[in-house]
Amino acid sequence: MEIEIISFGQIAEFINHQKIEVDGIADTDAFKRYLEDRFPTLKGMKYKLALNKNIVQQNTEIKNQATIAIMPPFSGG
């Protein structure tokens, strides 16, 4: 299964825009575990996922060729 990952702000410093080929990631909870496992820095950070441009509020099924965005909060002005 192919997933496109888009990231913003300081998360983009360690997770590049990329397409990954993975199996066994059925939903957004599993994807979160995968991400935090592969990029441990993410564990201590606040971030939100968006699946195909919709904010993820509860565990949601991921289909092939999904796009997942990882967004940290910004406060600067």
| Residue 73 makes contact with another protein by CB under 8 A | yes
Contacting residue, 2, 18, 40, 63, with another protein by CB under 8 A: 40
Cβ pair 47, 71 in contact under 8 A = yes
Token representation of residue 41: 């820095």
Contacting residue, 4, 25, 44, 59, with another protein by CB under 8 A: 44
Token representation of residue 11: 């998360």
Please tell me the count of residues contacting another protein according to CB under 8 A: 26
Task: Kindly report the three-state secondary structure assignment for every residue of 10-46.
Answer: HHHHCCCCEEEECCCCCEHHHHHHHHHHHCHHHHHCC
Q: Which residue, 25 or 70, has its beta carbon nearer to another protein?
A: 70
Contacting residue, 18, 54, 59, 65, with another protein by CB under 8 A: 54
